[in-house]
Amino acid sequence: MMAPGTEVGEGDRDYRLTLPAKSSKKPPPELSEGIRVRGLVIVSFWAVVIFLGLPVWLWTTSIHRARLPLQEMLDWADGKACKPTFPLQIAIEAPLLQDAEAAHLVHMTQHALDDLNEFSAHHLRLRLAKSLSSPSRRNASIPESQDLDIGQVFQSYEDLDDRDDSALTVRLRAQDGIQAARSALQSHSTILDVAYAPNQIPSVSSSSSALATFIANRLQELFAEEQAIIAYILSQSAAGIQSTSHSPYVSPATASGSREIRSRPNRLINPEMAARLASRMTRSLKYAPTYHITMSLFTPSASPSSWQIESALAEYLTPLLDSISAVSNFTVDTQVQLYATFSPSVHAPEHDADHGVWTLQEEDLSGFINAAEWPLSPSIGAGPTLNFVLYVPDQTTSPLVVKGSQASSWLIPQWGGVVILNAQDANTTSVGSTLSKEAIRPALLTFSHQLLSFLGAPQTPPSLPLQLQTLTRIRAASLLLSASSTMGSLARLTVALPSIAIPETVSTAVDTTLSHLRYTCNALKEGKFPEALENARIAEAEAERGFFEKSMVGQVYFPDEHKVAVYLPLLGPVGVPLIMSALKELKRMWASRKAQ
Amino acid sequence: MVIDRRKALLFGSATTLRLLLFFAFPSLPDLLTGRVEISTPVTSFKRLQEGLFLYTHNVSPYDGGVFHQAPLLLSLFALIPSSLFSPLTSLLYIALDLLCANALIQIAESGEAGSSRLFTSPRNELKWDGIAIGAAYLFNPFTIATCIGRPISVFTNCAILYAIAKAVSGKPMSSILALGLASYLSLYPILLLPPLILLCYDRQARDKKETPPISTFAIKYTSLFFATKVWFLYISNILTGGSWEFISSTYSVQLLLPDLTPNMGLWWYFFIEMFDSFREFFLGVFWLHLGGYVGGLCIRVRRQPLFIITTLLGIFAIFKPYPSLSDTSLYFAMLPLYRHIFPLMRYTFFAMATILYASLLGPAFYYLWIYAGSGNANFFYAITLVWSLGLSEIVADSLFAVLRDEWEVERPEMKGKDVRQI
C-alpha cells in the first residue's frame, strides 16, 4: 500500500531526464544546483527516519519489564520463605483447682500432648485461663459488701478477649461419683466440658496423671482430622514443587531439600486416610472469594408452584453464611421450575412394594439432573455456582428414595446437592400448592451440611464453631500455598520468556502479594488465624491478578521471526527506495571525491 | 462588471442546484450523511448533532465517546435555532461552498500557479480563468455530495483555501490565522505550515521588493501560528467550562485512531489487522510517512510553493487517518490551477478511469459487505486501495509534469520530446 506513496517520494528525488536510449548522445552533465537539491531531499527523508522514526521505534516497541523480586518469589514457592505453623491456643479453665495444681496439670497435659503429636507444624498449646470465675473465686475472700471495682470489670473483659484468641476452652469440673473422667463437647460453642472425679487431681509432686493423659488424648482426637487435612495440603504442595523442580531456578539440591522438609507430614497420613482426603478434596470446590448459590425447586407436575424460600433462607441458611463470611462471600438466588422431567437416560422410578416406596437406581443419580432441560446455569458472574436442587416428586411416584440406601439426598461433586422432598413429609405442612417454611426446613439443613463439605470443612469435631475455625485454618493454609506457587510460576515464566512485557501493575501485584504472604505467615505463627485468612485472601487475589494480567499474556506467543513478518511488508516498500537512493548518492559522492 | 455577472451567475446556479437537492429530495441529506465515503468518525454531521444535543442539555459533549469535533463548532451550531436547524445548516453549508469557490477564484486570479517569484512556466498562457476553476469546484459531484452530506471537514477545507488565498494576496497574517483555524478544527493542516510560510514569503518578497531574511520571517509566522492555536484552545477551554477533556477526544482520536469505522482511507483495515503490541509503532510509522513528504517537497519544488500545498493536499486525501470525499474534492479544486501542466501528464486516462471505477464500485462493494452480507471487509478495502492508487497516480503524475515543466526551462531544446527517467 505504500508503493504509490513512495513513488511520489522517489519521483522528486531521483529526477533526472535524458533522451531515450536509442539516441546514443550522452546526457549533458547535471547542474550542481540539481545535485545539491537532490542531496538535500535525501537528507530530509533520512532525517525523518533517523530523528523521528528511530526514537518512535525504540519507544513503542521496547518491552517494559518491571523488576520483580524473582528470588523471593521462588523462595515462597519452594516453601523456603515461610514454614506455616499452626499453634492452637487451648485455654484450660479450672476454677476449682489451686493455681499451682492447675499449672501442674496443664504442664503434664502439654507433655502428654507433645508426645502424641507427630506433626510439628500443627501443635496445641495449653495455657491456664485466667477464667472469669477465677478472679471472683479469689474475690470471695474479700468481704461481700465491697463491690467489684471498675478495674476488675475491665480485667474480666480482657479475659473474654483472651478467650476469643484460643481455639478451644477446656472447662474442668469436678463431679462426684464418677470413676473415670468424661468429656462432652458443646455443639454450638468452643467449650469442651471435662468432668473428673475429685480424686483424679494430680498432686504437684506426681509425674503422671490419668486425667492429663485423658485430656491430651481427647484433644488430639478432636484435632486429628484437621491435622491430617493440613498435612495433606502441605504434602500436596510439596508434590507440586517436585513436579516443577526442573525449572532453571531451582537447583536439584534445593528441590530435594524442600522435599525433605515437606515429606515429613507424609508419614502422618496413612494411605487410607490420604485416599479419603483426596476424595474429599475433589468433591469440594476450588476456593473463590465469592460463590453463588442457586436454590431450585423442581417438580414434575404443577404443584407445588411456590415455596416460602425467602423466609426459610433468612432463618436457616443466612446465619450459617454470615458465620462463614470471613472465608467467602455468598450470593443466593432461587427459582421454581414446574413440569421438570427426567432426562431420557434415567430409568423411571420402580415401585418397591416391600417398603412401599418408589426407588431410583443408584447409578442413575449422576444423570438425575437433566442438564439439557433444567435451567441450571453453569455460572453467574465471577465466582463458581453451587446448585442446590429440591426435587418434589409426583404424587403417583411418592415417596421416592434411592434404591438400597433408602436415602433421599445426595451430593454431586463440584456441582451441588439434591434433596428429594417426599410428599407425605410435605403434606402435613404445606398449604395448597405452597411449600411452607417448615416443610423445606429439613432440606435446607441438608443443604447446609452439603455446603460445608463443598467448602472443605472437616466432618469432625461435631461442634460447628470448631469446624468453622478449622475451615479458617485450612483455607488460610491452602491460600498461602496457592498464592506462593502462583508467585513461583510467575517468576519462572518471567525467566523463561524474556520477550514478554511485565507492566508495573504486575510488579505492584507481586509486591502486595508478598507483603500479605508475610503477614499471613506471621499471623499463622502467632495463632491469629482470622487475620491470616484475611491476608491470605488478599494475597491470593493479587497473585491471580498479577499472573493473569492481560497485557502480559498477549505477547507470550510472539517469537522474533514473526516480527520480520510484521515489519517487512510495510517497511520494505518504504525502505528499499530510501536505502537505494542513499547508496546511489553515497556512491556518487565517493566517485566525485576520487575524481578530484 | 462582466466578470462580476459571470460570477453571480456561477454562484446563483450552484446555489440553486444545492437548494434543489436539499429541498426537493428531503431524504438525500440524511442518506449522504450516513455514507462512510463522506462522514468519518471525526467529521460526521450526525456525531456533531449528538454532541450538540448533549451540549445544549448541559452534559459534556465528550462524555459519550461519540463526538470528536472541536468545541468551537458546537457554539457555532448552538446559535442556530433548533426549529429551523435543518434549513439553516443547509444554507450555512451552501455559503461555505461559495466561500471556498470565492477563495479559489482569488487564488486563480493571482496567477501564482503559472508564475511564482522564482519560476515562471513556459506554458503560462495555457490556463483557465477563475470562474472556470470555481465552476470546476462548485459542480464537481464530489463537492456537491460533500455539501449535502454536511461533514465538518468543509469548514477545514474552507479555512485552508482561505489561508492560501490570503497568502497569494500578500496577507501573511490572515493567512496564518486561517491555517491556525484549519489545524484547530482538524489537526493535519499543521503540516501545511512550512509550504504556506514559503508561499507567504515569496509573495511578500515579490510585492514589496524588500526581502527580510527567510529565517526571521519563518520564526515570526511559526510563532504566530502556534499563538493562534493556543488562543483557539484557550477559547475552547472556556467554552467547555474550563476542562481540557476535549483535547483527548478530538486530537488524540485523530492521532491514535481508536475508532476503526471503515472509510476510504488505508488506515482502518491495517489497524484492525495489526497485532496490538505493534499498534503504537505503526501509528508512528503512518504519521511519519504522512509528514515525511513535507520536507522533501519543500526542498525539491521550492520554486513553486503553491504546488507543494496542492501535492500535500493530494497526499493527505490518500494517507491521512480519516480521509473522505471532501479531502479529494479539495485536491481536485486545487488541481485545475495547474491547467498548463496537464499536457505533460502521462497517465491521465488511466488515473481518471481508476477514480471513476472506484467511485462507482466503492458504494456497491460497501453495500455487498454491510447490507447484503455477500461480501466481506476485503471487498471494500480492495476498492479503497484502487481509489488510493488512482489518486496517487494523479499526485505522482502531476509532480512529474511540474518537474518536467521546470526542467524544460533549463533545457529548452527538449521541449515536446519524449523523455525517460534515469
Kindly report the nearest CA distance between residue B248 and chain A, in angstroms.
Answer: 19
Domain boundary among A423, A455, A487: A455
- Which residue, among A509, A574, A586, A494, has the nearest Cα to A540 in the 3D structure? A509
B77/A444 Cα distance (integer angstroms): 65
| A248 close to A421: Cβ distance less than 8 angstroms | no
Residue A543 lies in a domain: no
A436 and A292, same structural domain? yes
Rounded Cα–Cα distance for residues A163 and A179 (Å): 30
The values of phi and psi at residue B338, to 5°, are: -100, 40
- pLDDT tens profile B65-93: 888 988 888 888 999 888 888 899 999 99
C-alpha cell at A305: 408452584
Domain boundaries, chain B: 2-338
In a domain, A179, yes or no: yes
Question: Do A292 and A430 share a domain, yes or no?
Answer: yes
Helix ranges (DSSP H) in B111-150: 130-138, 141-149
Band of the pLDDT at B231, cuts 50, 70, 90?
Answer: very high
Q: What is the pLDDT of residue A267?
A: 52
Residue A492 lies in a domain: no
Within 8 A of B341 by CB-CB distance, chain A residues are none
Contacts of B419 in chain A (CB under 8 A): 17-20
pLDDT value for B356: 94
Query: How far is it, in rounded angstroms, from Cα B48 to Cα B64?
Result: 12
ipTM computed for the complex: 0.84
Q: Report strand pairing: A329-337 vs A290-298.
A: parallel
Cα–Cα dist A380/A370, whole Å = 19
Within this chain, do residues A36 and A113 fall inside the same structural domain, yes or no?
Answer: no
Contacts of A15 in chain B (CB under 8 A): 300, 403, 407, 421
A60 vs B: CB within 8 A: yes
Which region among A86-100, B6-20, B27-41 has the lowest average model confidence (pLDDT)? Answer: A86-100
Domain identity same for A52 and A185:
no
What does the alpha-carbon distance between residue B383 and residue B262 come to, in Å, rounded to a whole number?
A: 12
Q: What is the pLDDT of residue A252?
A: 39
Q: Mean pLDDT of successive 10-residue segments in chain A (596 residues)?
A: 39 44 60 84 91 88 80 85 83 79 83 80 77 43 40 41 66 78 79 80 72 83 83 75 45 39 50 78 79 88 84 88 85 87 81 82 81 73 83 82 83 86 59 77 87 81 81 87 89 82 86 91 86 89 85 65 80 88 90 87
Residue A170: inside a domain? yes
Tell me the average pLDDT across B241-252: 85
Do A195 and A332 have their domain in common?
Answer: no
Residue A530 lies in a domain: no
- What DSSP assignment string belongs to A284-349? SPPP-SEEEEEEEEE-SSS---EE-HHHHIIIIIHHHHHHHTTT-EEEEEEEEESS-PPPTTSPPP
| A77 belongs to a structural domain | no
pLDDT band at B98; cut points 50, 70, 90:
very high
- Total domains in chain A come to 3
d(CA A489, CA A484): 9
pLDDT of residue B148: 93
- Residue A256's pLDDT is 39
Q: Could you tell me where the beta strands, DSSP code E, fall in A338-427? A: 350-352, 357-360, 385-391, 400-402, 409-412, 416-420
Interface test with A, best of B119, B278, B409, B417 (most A CBs within 10 A): B278
**A439 and A294, same structural domain?**
yes
Look at A53 and B285 and tell me if their CB atoms are within 8 Å: yes
Where residue A212 sits, what CATH number does that domain have? Answer: 3.30.379
CB-based contact B270 A21, cutoff 8 Å: no
pLDDT of residue A201: 73
Q: What is the mean pLDDT of residues B402-411?
A: 86
Average pLDDT of span B150-167: 94
DSSP string, B57-94: TTS-TTTTS---S-HHHHHHHHTS-GGGHHHHHHHHHH
Same domain, A128 and A190: yes
Contact B232, B178 (CB under 8 A): no
The per-residue pLDDT for range B310-358, each reduced to its tens digit, is 999 999 999 999 999 999 999 999 999 999 999 889 899 999 999 999 9
A65 bridge partner residues: A502
Distances, alpha carbon B49 to alpha carbons A504, B46, B69, B94, B143, in Å: 41, 5, 11, 18, 21
- By residue range, what is the domain housing residue A582? 3-14+30-62+558-595
For B69, counting Cβ atoms within 10 Å of its Cβ (0-12 exposed, 13-18 middle, 19+ buried), the class is: buried
Domain boundary among A419, A439, A455: A455
Neighbours of A364 (CB within 10 A): 17
Best residue of B276, B297, B392 to probe chain A, by most A CBs closer than 10 Å: B392
Name the residue among B277, B315, B400 with its Cβ closest to that of A11: B400
Q: Are residues A292 and A353 in the same domain?
A: yes
Same domain, yes or no: A334 and A406? yes
Residues in chain B: 422
Q: How many CB atoms lie within 10 A of CB B82?
A: 11
Which residue is listed with cell 460453642?
Answer: A189
Which of A15, A555, A566 is nearest residue B421 as measured by Cβ atoms?
A15
A549–B contact, CB cutoff 8 A:
no
User: What pLDDT does A160 receive?
Assistant: 42
Residue A108 within any structural domain of the chain: yes
In a domain, A346, yes or no: yes
What is the structure's pLDDT at B45? 92
Distance of alpha carbon B72 from alpha carbon B185, whole angstroms: 8
Backbone angles phi, psi at A174, to 5 degrees: -80, 140
My answer on whether A376 and A421 are in the same domain is: yes
B276: its cell numbers: 496490538
pLDDT of residue A242: 52
pLDDT at A412: 85
Q: What is the mean pLDDT of residues B30-46?
A: 90
> B38 vs B29, B153, B251, CA distance in Å?
11, 9, 20
Domain's final residue, options A438, A455, A472: A455
The answer to whether A27 faces chain B, any CB pair under 8 Å, is: yes
